[in-house]
Amino acid sequence: TTATNPKVSFHDYQPELESFRAAVLLGLAREHKQIPPKFFYDERGSQLFEDILEQAEYYIPTVEKRLYQEHAADMAQLIGRDAVLIEPGSGSCEKVQLLLETIRPAAYVPMDISGDFLRKASCDLGAAFPWLHVYAACLDFTHELRLPAAVPEGRRVVFIPGSSLGNFDLPEAQHFLFQIRQLVGKGGGLLIGVDRKKDKAVLERAYNDAAGVTADFNLNLLVRINQELEGNFDLEAFRHEAFYNEQLGRIEMHLISRKAQTVSIDGEVFRFAEGESIHTENSYKYHPQEFGTLAQAAGFQSRQMWTDAGQLFGIYYLDG
Q: Does 55 bind ligand AVJ (CB under 6 A)?
A: no
Smallest gap from residue 164 Cβ to ligand AVJ (A): 5
Q: Does 277 bind ligand AVJ (CB under 6 A)?
A: no
Smallest gap from residue 154 Cβ to ligand AVJ (A): 28
CA distance to 65, 99, 105, 126, per residue, from 71 (Å): 10, 9, 17, 24
Smallest gap from residue 108 Cβ to ligand AVJ (A): 20
Per rule CB under 6 A, count of chain residues that contact ligand AVJ: 10
Q: Does 283 bind ligand AVJ (CB under 6 A)?
A: yes
Show the site string, 224-263: x = touches ligand AVJ by CB under 6 A, - = not.
----------------------------------------
CA distance to 227, 291, 292, 319, per residue, from 187 (Å): 46, 20, 18, 7
Q: Does 207 bind ligand AVJ (CB under 6 A)?
A: yes
- Decide whether 155 or 240 has the Cβ nearer to ligand AVJ: 240
- Decide whether 42 or 281 has the Cβ nearer to ligand AVJ: 281
Contact 155, 80 (CB under 8 A): yes
Contact 237, 259 (CB under 8 A): yes
- Decide whether 107 or 206 has the Cβ nearer to ligand AVJ: 206
Q: In the window 132-191, what residues touch ligand AVJ (CB under 6 A)?
A: 162-164, 166-167
Alpha-carbon gap, residue 159 to 141, rounded angstroms: 13
- Decide whether 114 or 283 has the Cβ nearer to ligand AVJ: 283
- Decide whether 57 or 319 has the Cβ nearer to ligand AVJ: 57
Alpha-carbon gap, residue 206 to 59, rounded angstroms: 7
Q: Does 220 bind ligand AVJ (CB under 6 A)?
A: no
Contact 216, 255 (CB under 8 A): no
Smallest gap from residue 253 Cβ to ligand AVJ (A): 6
* 27-64 as b/e: b if 16+ CB within 10 A: bbeeeebbbbbbbbbbebbbebbeebbebebbbbbebb
Gyration radius from the chain CA atoms: 20
Alpha-carbon gap, residue 88 to 41, rounded angstroms: 14
Contact 79, 96 (CB under 8 A): no
Enumerate binding residues for ligand AVJ (CB under 6 A): 52, 162-164, 166-167, 207, 214, 281, 283
